[in-house]
Amino acid sequence: MFLQMMYDMNSGIIVILAAFILGVIARSRVNSTFNRYSRVRNGLGLTGAGVARSILDNYGLANIGIEQVQGKLTDHYDPRSGTLRLSSSVYGSDSVAAIGIAAHEAGHAVQHAMGYSPLKFRTALIPVANLGSRMLFPLLIGGFFFRITNMIYIGIALYGVALLFQLVTLPVEFNASARAVNWLEKERGFPPSDVAGVKKVLTAAALTYVASALAAIGQMLWLVLAGRRR
């Protein structure tokens, strides 16, 4: 029984460790791929901000503003203010990496405007997912310390929502990248070499989300097995 318990719990830890290693590799690959294609100018000479503006206007989203923010790879779309924020290394750059990142973030704005279902679902999960991430360990510690099994189960249930958030994030991010590649290749006619570079940049970025999802799955597995043995 003890050996089986250790085997089950170690299975979750192994998944978490594997996801951590994948995450380190993914972040390293993102940086190296971004740096590589930051030195390659795109064939049409458009900047990241210019590409984002073209995509937004093409979908009738002239009301969405584009702002420059500090930092590296801090690009994001803020649905609350209706603002697309691009990092300084993307906003005014005409590199292949810049147009890929900008098009991807513009894809999120398009998703929001079109009511893309996975994005709406993910947004609805945010409050509970944040609560689950914050309360997991206090509930677990309290449950084990005071021997209140229900506290442990509540913590696991809340973390389950956080895990669901991570899983739903995957199709949201993949769809935004697909929209970006499709627009650059078919709507705007960027050279094949540019599109190939954009795909490599966005694929590297996607690995970070896969690693996060695997880490969440591993932690949930560990929690469930620990709770069951409790």
Which pLDDT tens digit goes with each residue over 171-198?
Answer: 999 999 999 999 999 988 999 999 999 9
Residue at 225: amino acid letter: L
Q: What is the pLDDT of residue 4?
A: 44
Segments in the chain below pLDDT 50: 1-8
What residues contact residue 81 under an 8 Å CB cut-off, 6+ apart? none
Q: What is the pLDDT of residue 226?
A: 65
| Model confidence, pTM | 0.86
Residue positions annotated with a catalytic role? 105
Q: Where would I find the H helices in 41-86?
A: 48-58
- What crossing angle do the helices spanning 96-114 and 2-38 adopt, rounded to 10°? 120
Q: What Cα–Cα distance (Å) separates residue 63 from each residue in 17, 76, 79, 81?
A: 44, 17, 12, 11
Lookup: tokens for 163: 């895990």
Strand 83-87 to 65-69 pairing: parallel
Q: What is the pLDDT of residue 3?
A: 40
Q: What is the pLDDT of residue 15?
A: 65
Q: What is the pLDDT of residue 228?
A: 61
What residues contact residue 202 under an 8 Å CB cut-off, 6+ apart? 100, 104, 177, 180, 181
Rounded to whole angstroms, the Cα distance separating 146 from 56 reads 54
Q: What is the pLDDT of residue 154?
A: 85
Q: Is the dihedral of CA 111, 180, 167, 20 positive or negative?
A: negative
Q: Where would I find the H helices in 115-191?
A: 117-146, 149-182
Q: What is the pLDDT of residue 212?
A: 87
